[in-house]
Structure 1
Amino acid sequence: MTKKSRTVQRRTVLGGLVGAGMAFAFGSVDHVSAQSPPRLEPRSIAARQRFFGASNVDSGTGGIRADRVVITWLGCTTYAMAMNGSVFVFDAWIPRGTVSGYVPTDPDEVADLRPDAIFIGHGHFDHAADAGRIAEASGATVYGSAEHCAAVRKSVDTRAVRFIELGDAATPVGDRRDVEAGNVSVTAIRHLHSTPTAPEQGPEGSPPFFPTPNTSDIAAHPPELDDATSLARHVFDAEGGSILYQFRIPGFSVLWHDTAGPLGERAPQVLTQLHELPPTDVHLGAIQGFGQFTNGLRDPREYAEAVAARLFVPGHHDNFVPGISARGETYEAPLRAELARLDSPPELRFMSDPTDYLNPGLLTFSV
């Protein structure tokens, strides 16, 4: 695959990447947003300041600086993102059920962000179980397949929630939809959920990966009854199709997917589509999946190669179901080994649970 150019037009913008612990020296609230947003309630302002950093949020209105993109990890593949003054939630599940309090927030606080939209990657419980609760409480528009939207409709007052359907479960892999969400251009591409495939033989193959389970978090964060009951209600939720999204504003783009399927084997045309998208600055990609048991982290590596972003941030690698999943730290060495196989590997911003949850300083960018 011919690599995308990473020349200056791919941006000097990531020079604005801010690491954890670094301070901002911002000016007046003239920077907050080109629009004049309505004044939010105090609890929403407080939530936005916590999720996106107090320096990026107007303390009087809750408006967010349009010259910053801020992304906050909320567990598994759920993120909150502020972009061009809009607030989006990617997936909608705060990990809990086998544990409680492992991620230091809850669906009610996510709803307090007053997100403009929720984008669902697929419908399994660990990705969409809180979508209805957050959407109904916040008024966010829900984007996803017809099946994703139908599942959410069952749990909400449909008069309070708007839905944008992006095909259905039968929509062909590779289908592309382009929409506008607020002041952000969004491309949605149908791709594949992770699945085990026959081990790839020869020097190109990747070794199987079996992360060591960590059960100590159950003892430290025992499950509460309400959380366990919520998990039980959603544990068999259907996939409903898997969708990958790219979000673009002038000078910056973010690509996110909450699963990584065997595209090289079963849908190489999608790898070509990813390669031909407008350049991506930040790639948020799932690395934990069923394919790891036969082909290690090969499938996430193929996504990273096709997207060719400057910065890769792994997700779906945390201990969200202790005893089945593991601490993210177990994934770092095999992931680095996979990315090192690329001719032009992305910079890796590895985030570990639970210390990097709700840490906006890790993913704050100047635009």
Structure 2
Amino acid sequence: MNRLCMLAVTTALALLPQMATAAEKTLTVGVSDALSGGGAVYGEPQRRAINLAIEQINAGGGVHVGEDTYKLKTIEYDDKADPTEATNVARKLIDRDGVKFLMGYCCSASTGAVASIIGREDVIMLVGTAGARAITAAGNDNVFRTRPPGDYSGAAAGRFIASKGVKRLGVLATRDVALFTQYRDALIEAFEAEGGEVVALETFGGQDRDMSAQLTKLRGLEPDGYFISGYVEQVAFAYRQAYELGITAPRYGFSGGSAEQFLSVASSEALEGVWDLIAIEFNADALGDTAKAYAKAYEERWDAYPTPNSAFAYDQVYVLRDALEAAGTVELDDVKKALRNLAVPEETVLEYLPVDGKMFDPKGQAYISNGAFQFHNDKWDFVTKLPSDSAAYSAYFQTITK
């Protein structure tokens, strides 16, 4: 081989690593969630689920965007479920870290604060568990949410409680979280429309752990059923205290949360027979093989069983992957358009109900089935699906802004 040929071969070989590096890029995703404090029971599982999905996608070859392949990585911050802190985290991710895709967001108050400003920013925000209606009702074209609003499930729950023969309902609910108040109001309206009577509405604050006084007042009114809603720890305390007060009437709730989270506060005896009426979050028995594979992978990776809300965040990552690949670019306008027209990704764990064949409706809102779960023998058993009309709710949703 002459010197000219040898030089050409050597030059080509030297360029190969550089060409490979140029073709494989990194796309950074910002994760903002409650990783400490009371909201961490939702935020930390979401963070873990996001990282699991990213590890799976990267191991499978990454995200193929046009002629480029991207490996995903995260920058993660604790927003403490605090509105001010969440807004500061968003500013840090956007202004300092230069992130274009934000995800996580487990709690309504903190997420709502970010959503109120994000429409002015050149980013895409993917929201998980936070269920306050205004987050997507505002109609920002860069906000997409996998969890349906609270009132979407609340009305179905009210009809279900009435169908169980409850005529007089005592309500105990958190008073300062939009997700829960919207769900509660929709539940009461639907329950009363079925001929039921709410004997009293008692409330508690975000830091309260002793609801004995409110439960005692409700018990004196002799309801034949109770409805209790709020964050998982508070609801678990209320169930424990109801049991200690000798309350035996059926108890229905809305909180989400794993059996392990409830059992860390209340005994199995106190929890036996209580209901959780929620959009069908992660539950392997209700959702089938894909969910079982997710549970196995999550448990192997994190040495813990996935909480019900964790799948909202896991699905976010596959939503982003499919939108990027459909867009063929990382340009935000093209990715937003792809999200608007996205079919439900094959790998998603939850059972989404498309609107006009698309995962997200015109306001960037996705919908899943509603379900009734009952606590029995130290675990949540899936009992039945509740009526879930995503198209009808979406049509109503387009008419409101908050």
Scaled by the length of structure 2, the TM-score of the pair is: 0.26
Larger Rg: 2
Higher relative contact order, chain-length normalized (CA < 8 Å, sep 6+): 1
